[in-house]
Amino acid sequence: VLMPGDPLRAKFIAEEFLTDARLVNQVRGMLAYTGLYKGKEVTVMASGMGMPSIGIYSYELYTQYDVENIIRIGSAGSYTDKAKLFDVVLAAGAVSESNYARVQSGFEGDITLPSQSLNDKLRASAAKQGIPLIEGNIHSSDVFYRQPSDAKPTYWEKLRDERGCLCVEMESFALFANAQVLGKNAACLLTISDSFVAPEITTAEQRQTSFTNMMKVALGAEY
């Protein structure tokens, strides 16, 4: 999770993008560091997996640490041949079957939206660096493994064809919900790591070393 320009600072996962990293704080045991990217202080920290996890950390960052902007970066499984391995996806909305937002704030919808101002900054950063972005809705799922089903079309084909979901991840619906409730900004950039429509999957080494474009886009956004 990137939080450029905020009082809480953090260390970036890829050391080549940050220098002079140092521990400054921790939120519920999650380490927070500071570092510089092209002279700009940037905060980076992990959030754990799933909507309860990012729901806790993002809410506390927004309310207790004066954070205004959170950009989620992560991996995703593609639902379409339009989003191929290593492509970078900018979320236009997060569709979910989760009841997180209903329980948290009474929101009854099944899609939450990112900050348009943050998305505009990410588009500008990507264009400046010549990094292509694929934009569309994403599916934020509560479930990582589903029991096999013979239903046709499949649940993910329905999400793709009826809701425009390009891929699946597990956090952004809750992050966007918190930002909307608190009047803050949130966005999400994802790298395609595997595919539901093609026999493609990245290795652990590739995930560690080849997912840099979404990081460059997030770090290059102007604030």
Q: Phi-psi category of 29—alpha, beta or left, where left has phi over 0 and alpha has psi -120 to 50?
A: left
Q: How far is CA 138 from the centre of its chain?
A: 10
C-alpha span between 180 and 177 (Å, rounded)? 5
Ranges assigned E (strand) in the chain: 19-27, 30-37, 40-44, 69-78, 88-95, 111-112, 134-140, 165-169, 185-195
AA letter at 89: V
Residue 59 in tokens: 């809410």
CA end-to-end distance (rounded Å), the chain: 16
Residue 132 sits at φ, ψ, to 5 deg, of -70, 140
C-alpha span between 169 and 223 (Å, rounded)? 26
Which of 174, 173, 184 has the alpha carbon at shortest distance from 64?
A: 184
Catalytic (active-site) positions: 194
C-alpha span between 33 and 35 (Å, rounded)? 7
C-alpha span between 172 and 137 (Å, rounded)? 11
Looking up tokens 């409730």, which residue turns up? 181
